[in-house]
């Protein structure tokens, strides 16, 4: 297993365009999380899934943001009508829900720049 | 709501110096506490964790003790190395974990030879 994979690594888009990011979690992990990290700040929670069910969404997740996890495997995060304030690193993480040695594994992130 | 406050950086130390990065939290119930590290150009990695009061997490020479009475989880290392240069994040998770993490803003550590 190669860990949590995120694609693309970098994305530059013009304001108003739509973008989609993909996250492939560790295969046996049933929980998947999305975070956003801006420069000089810690990651902020956006949303998470258990299998294909979206269990929680942060107030940060405006109507322009949508996340899916069809079939409980990979996940996509789409941002519609991007704004300059959406520029950030988008992080994905996955974890198990059983056992005591839980812990997140983070991907390397997708850096979004809106120009 | 839940929150984590950690000392602002950057912190610059000479090799072999003692390191402390302060972290305090506000949470209802009994959160689990974590330190994550982000090396330049890499993703977040779990450094250590503690799941109940008075637990001590340790890894790679780093330690942190869950202090419920002071709501703190300070990170310490007795002798830092240049390779420890990174950004360190304190975080908490409600209940027993596997719920969304709440992170502090991070503390950048630079260790000079």
- Residue A85's CB is within 10 A of a number of other CB atoms, namely 9
Average pLDDT, chain B: 93
User: Which pLDDT score is estimated for A1?
Assistant: 56
Q: Model confidence over B71-106: pLDDT tens digits?
A: 999 999 999 999 999 999 999 988 655 678 899 999
Supply the DSSP string of B14-63, one letter for each residue: ETT--EEE-EEEE-SS--EEEEEEE-TTS-EEEEEEE-STT-EEEETTEE
Structure tokens belonging to residue B67: 């202090």
Residue A97 pLDDT = 73
Q: What is the pLDDT of residues A3-42, one digit of tens each?
A: 999 999 999 999 999 999 999 999 988 899 999 999 889 9
What pLDDT is recorded for position A40?
Answer: 86
Write down the pLDDT at residue B8: 86
3-class state of residue A85 by DSSP: helix
- Residue A19 is inside which H or E element, if any? strand A19-24
Q: What pLDDT score does A64 carry? A: 96
Q: What is the pLDDT of residue B98?
A: 64
Q: Which percentage of chain A shows pLDDT scores above 90?
A: 77
> How far apart are the C-alpha atoms of B87 and A107, rounded to whole Å?
16
Tell me how many degrees the CA angle B63-B68-B72 measures, rounded to the nearest 5. Answer: 50
Residue with tokens 């302060």: B22
- What integer pLDDT is reported at residue A69 of this predicted model? 96
CB contact under 8 A, A91 and B43: yes
Q: B100 — contact with chain A (CB < 8 Å)?
A: yes
Contact status of A106 with chain B (Cβ, < 8 Å): yes
Which residue is closest to A109 within chain B, CA to CA?
B43
Q: What is the mean pLDDT of residues B7-18?
A: 94
Q: How far is A105 from A42, CA to CA, in rounded Å?
A: 16
Q: Is the pLDDT of residue B29 over 90?
A: no
Closest CA of chain B from A83, distance in Å: 23
Parallel, antiparallel, or unpaired for β A10-13 and A110-114?
parallel
Please determine, for residue B28, whether its predicted confidence score (pLDDT) is greater than 90. no
Yes or no, beta carbons of A96 and B44 under 8 Å apart: no
Size of interface A-B (CB pairs under 8 A): 50
Which pLDDT belongs to residue A99?
Answer: 53
């Amino acid at each position: 297993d190669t860990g949590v994979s995120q694609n693309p690594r970098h994305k530059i888009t013009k304001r108003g365009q739509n973008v989609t990011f993909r996250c492939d979690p560790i295969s046996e992990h049933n929980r998947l999380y999305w975070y956003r990290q801006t420069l000089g700040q810690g990651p902020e929670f956006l949303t998470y899934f258990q299998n294909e069910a979206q269990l929680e969404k942060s107030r940060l997740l405006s109507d322009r943001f949508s996340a899916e996890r069809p079939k409980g495997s990979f996940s996509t995060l789409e941002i519609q009508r991007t704004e300059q304030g959406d520029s950030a690193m988008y992080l994905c993480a996955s974890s198990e829900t059983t056992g005591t040695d839980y812990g997140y594994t983070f991907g390397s992130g997708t850096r979004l720049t809106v120009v | 709501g839940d929150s984590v406050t950690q000392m602002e950086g950057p912190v610059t130390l000479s090799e072999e110096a003692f390191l402390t990065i302060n972290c305090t939290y506000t949470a209802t119930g009994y959160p689990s506490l974590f330190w994550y590290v982000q090396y330049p150009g890499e993703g977040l990695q779990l450094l250590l964790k503690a799941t109940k009061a008075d637990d001590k997490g340790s890894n790679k020479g780093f330690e942190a003790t869950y202090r419920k009475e002071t709501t703190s989880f300070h990170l310490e290392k007795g002798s830092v190395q240049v390779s420890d240069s990174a950004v360190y994040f304190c975080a908490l998770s409600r209940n027993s974990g596997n719920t969304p993490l709440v992170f502090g803003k991070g503390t950048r550590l630079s260790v000079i030879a």
